[in-house]
Chain A
Amino acid sequence: MTAAPRRIASAATLAVAALVALPILSVAWTALSAGLGPQWVHLWATVLPDYVINTLLLSVWVSLGVAVIGVSTAWLVTMCRFPGSALLRWALVLPLALPAYVVAFLYTDLLEYAGPVQAALRDAFEWRTRRDYWFPEIRSLGGAAFVMSMAFYPYVFLLARSAFLEQSHDAWEVSRTLGDSPLRAFRRLALPLAWPSVVVGIALAVMETVSDYGVVSFFSVPTLTNGLFNVWLVMGDRAAGAQIALLLLLFVMALVMVERRARARRAYFALSTRSRSAAPVTLRGWQAAAALAVCAVPVLLGFVWPVWRLAGLAVGYDGAAGPDFAAVVARSLGLAGAAAALTLVVGLGLAYAARLGLSRPARFAARIASFGYALPGAVLAIGVMIPFGAFDRVVGGTLRDQWGITTGLLLSGTVFALLSAYLVRFLTLSHGTLEAGLQRIRPSLDMAARTLGRGPAATLGRIHLPLLRGALVTAGLLVFVDVLKELPATLVLRPFDFETLATSVYTLASDERYGEAAAPALVLTLAGLIPAVLLSGLLGRRAGAAEPS
């Protein structure tokens, strides 16, 4: 690249980094400039330790849950054949389609004291009150861990399964000929090799856990995110809220570091040569039954029952669907589509800048973007609001004073603010996917195109984009669905009269109007199904075909 375009590209990359960093920095600045007031002392003396402990506990439980479910099911459907294994191979991804807060309200409806399960038990055993028996409380930390494990285990499943698929069968056979039983070979070889991938999956699940607001608020679990929401947005204590946010950021940074190191190790473990993937073992009898049970339970609990229940609620709800329902659906889809397109363009730009040799600014921007993903939506929303509001005040004020033009809001309170928040939050998804896709395209292809007389832009258009089609679709859909489901930032930042599927589901469900909430929740789920199925399909194909060499 010659000097001038390089400088422009470098500046653009840094601008993206700045845009992504802005919300994080403004929260940090608010926290630090507020100082440690008496409120902070009170928080430490009372609830803050609880917030920290609950966040840690929840993270640990969810880690365990997603690791056990994700790894065992991935191993079984990849290495074994049993009745239903082909179906389960893709069905195990389906829970990804359901927003965790929807699962939360469905299980509450089922398992709370007034729900059908406890009512049936009371009828059956003639218990009269709560004091007559013990039943686990769904609205608790344990309940949240259960719901989140069910919602997030597909991250581990997908990554573990692709790691198992990539493992050389030769290594597996060597281990077997050296006298390892299949179980021992799994423990000594397959699991250690897949472990970095599993850790990446766990890290993603924990990021979702830490940033979750829907489930913990619904279950009244005082985590850092829940506390932050209460202290800052409900109680209006900006200083204390920002300080909790800072604590949360530290937590998130640790997670990002864990994830990054695991990814680096994963690359190291990846085999350079492709060899036969393993021939699956056919299970029979009780073994087949046990495998089926292990793999079917997460699908049943995490997808089949919730969707069945949603459908039932939606059908059973006799109130008219709001007249705005179609508008809400259209608005949600439009917003998610716009956000997906925006993140794709920026993500591709970043990945491409790195390929053109701007690796340092691009890596910097990408690193900041990965924090954005782990940032709780509420923090992000405030982080977007503060700088945008300041911009509006400065620019609007200048225009008003100099020329008497009243601008109103330029950025904040607009769809643009919302899109910026989505960009910051989900850029890493699109960038990561596109970067991985670009990395699979050998650099010699770029050079071949260049020596054949095509400039960088033409090379992108004629070589990279066609080869990246799969990655573009995947990245676009991932962002699309996550934007559809996104809750806290949308709640806080949305413009006037702006109801989305997610906000209406959450608003209705938190008011326990499940019947009304069911229809939008079902639409959300259906939209989420597309990428979930697509993801497992992609993985299946990758197991078969290799890139031509």
Chain B
Amino acid sequence: MSAALDFIDVRHGYDRQIVLDGLSLHVPAGRVTCLLGPSGCGKTTLLRIAAGLERPWSGRVLLGGREVDGDGVHLPPEQRGIGFVFQDFALFPHLDVLGNVAFGIRSGHRADRQARARALLERLGIGDKADVHPHLLSGGQQQRVALARAMAPDPAVLLLDEPFSGLDTVLRRGVYEDLRNLLGQTGVTAVVVTHDPVEAMILGDSIVLMNQGRIEQQGAPEALYRRPENPFVMRFLGEANTLPAHRDGSDAVTPLGRYPAPAGDGPLCAMVRPERIAVSPAGGLTARVRASVFLGRAVRLHLDLDGLLLTAEVPADRLYGDGETVSVAVDPADLHLFPA
């Protein structure tokens, strides 16, 4: 059974240093929400508050509509019915895998509980490791045990703190989708904390991008990627070229041409993602190739546009020679103008 999670005007910090400054957020039930942001942005703190591991200075937290934090209210973690997957997995070294997974199952007979734990392990593909102690498992296996342990008591909300940081890069790719499928199947409300936008985009039904204790933007992954609301969001989700821009009436003049300017009258800057720069042999705006790097799927070009350096990523259909002259163009939908 999944439940929604609400934070209302939550303030918290450590040693008089404010980490969360009046943050409000609704996490919808039955979906995967990724808390994304640079380290120190407060995303892990928010997760720990949700779990009851931290008590917020002020504000309220609702779990499935029930107040778990508020004025004079603080439900300890063991009474919240949440599951938590820790960054270091926090497996109990003195218990075997089955013991770890069955640890949180409180109802039913011992045999019952063990059967449920076993079933969960089977489902995660590590049924054969039930009697092994954690230190003999690989990183990926440890992660699954941690996940199984957190899910075993049927939590209303599953909280995952950087669940992939303990794994090496090669291992991660396969695990992402496993986890995504698993979370989808169970239909549990899941909150995943990560600092990796790719991870967030793969896993999250929606992403909450945080910075310095505030939410910068939230929404579907592709909305954040395609329609960032500010330069921080733009830069955090992927590489971006930043170009000078100025207003000219209702237009913005950029080195890439004139675009409709947003409302207002302040100074502007323009941003465009490398892969959204269209490069063609000639005609229109011309730029010179200063260097090209072959990446396999794509070619990365460092372009000189009238003394301005641009990075573009284009399909690897052909190779470019240094000094070659090319034409560049950017669709208005792909050029983002922000107040500077």
Contacts and interface: CB of A to CB of B under 8 A. Distances in A.
Touch test A–B (CB under 8 Å): yes
Interface of A: 1-2, 442, 444-445, 447-455, 458, 462-463, 466-467, 547-549
B94 A453 contact: no
A1 to B, nearest CB: 8
Nearest to A452: B104
A451 B150 contact: yes
B77 A447 contact: yes
B139 to A, nearest CB: 9
Contacts of A454: 78, 103-104
A309 B89 CA distance: 56
B53 A445 contact: no
B76 A455 contact: yes
A445 B76 contact: no
Nearest to B77: A450
Given A2-B74, A449-B103, A451-B82, A442 B88 contact: yes
A451 to B, nearest CB: 4
Contact of B106 (A453, A547, A549): A453
A448 B84 contact: yes
B78 A448 contact: no
B53 A450 contact: yes
Contact of B84 (A447, A458, A463): A447
Given A453-B78, A548-B135, A444 B153 contact: no
A444 B159 CA distance: 14
B86 interface: yes
A450 B76 contact: yes
B83 interface: yes
Interface in B106-145: 106, 133-135
Nearest to A462: B103
A549 B94 contact: no
B73 to A, nearest CB: 10
B292 to A, nearest CB: 39
B78 A463 contact: no
Given A451-B150, A548-B133, A444 B90 contact: yes
B204 to A, nearest CB: 21
B90 A2 contact: no
A3 to B, nearest CB: 9
A451 B156 CA distance: 12
Contacts of A455: 76, 78
A448 B86 contact: yes
Query: What are the 6 A-B residue pairs with the smallest beta carbon separation, nearest first?
Result: A548-B135, A452-B104, A444-B90, A451-B84, A450-B77, A448-B90
Contacts of A451: 51-53, 77-78, 80, 82-84, 104, 150, 159
A2 B150 CA distance: 24
Interface of B: 48, 51-53, 74, 76-84, 86-94, 103-104, 106, 133-135, 149-150, 153, 159
B90 A442 contact: yes
Given A453-B153, A548-B133, A447 B90 contact: yes
A467 B93 contact: yes
Given A453-B78, A453-B106, A548-B135, A448 B149 contact: yes
Contacts of B91: 448, 548
Nearest to B79: A453
A99 to B, nearest CB: 36
A355 to B, nearest CB: 13
A189 B68 CA distance: 54
Contacts of A449: 92, 103
B134 A548 contact: yes
Given A451-B51, A451-B78, A463-B92, 16 more contacts: A444-B89, A445-B92, A447-B86, A447-B90, A448-B86, A448-B149, A450-B52, A451-B52, A451-B53, A451-B150, A451-B159, A452-B103, A453-B79, A462-B103, A466-B94, A548-B93
Contacts of B84: 447-448, 451
Nearest to B75: A2
B83 to A, nearest CB: 7
A458 B51 CA distance: 18
Contact of B94 (A447, A450, A458, A467): A467
Contact of B51 (A442, A447, A463): A447
B93 A452 contact: no
B151 to A, nearest CB: 11
7 contacts: A2-B74, A444-B86, A444-B89, A451-B80, A453-B104, A467-B94, A549-B135
Interface centre among A447, A450, A453, A547 (most CB of B within 10 A): A453
Nearest to A454: B78
A162 to B, nearest CB: 20
A548 B93 CA distance: 7
Given A451-B150, A452-B104, A452-B149, A549 B88 contact: yes
Contacts of B134: 548
A444 B142 CA distance: 14
A447 B74 contact: no
Given A450-B53, A451-B84, A455-B76, A445 B103 contact: no
Contacts of B150: 451-452
B193 to A, nearest CB: 14
Contact of A452 (B76, B87, B153): B153
A463 B95 CA distance: 9
A230 B21 CA distance: 65
B78 A445 contact: no
A445 B79 CA distance: 17
B93 A448 contact: no
B264 to A, nearest CB: 46
A467 B52 CA distance: 24
A317 B159 CA distance: 72
Contacts of A467: 92-94
Contacts of A442: 88, 90
A548 B142 CA distance: 11
Contacts of A1: 76
A176 B76 CA distance: 54
Contacts of B83: 451-452
B92 A2 contact: no
A483 B147 CA distance: 47
Contacts of A453: 78-79, 81, 104, 106, 153
Contacts of B48: 447
B203 to A, nearest CB: 20
Given A444-B86, A467-B94, A548-B93, A450 B78 contact: yes
Contacts of A463: 92
A545 to B, nearest CB: 9
A448 B52 CA distance: 12
Contacts of A549: 88, 135
Contacts of A444: 86-90
Contacts of B104: 451-454
Interface centre among B48, B51, B52, B84 (most CB of A within 10 A): B84
A451 B48 CA distance: 10
A442 to B, nearest CB: 6
Contacts of B88: 442, 444, 549
Contacts of B80: 451
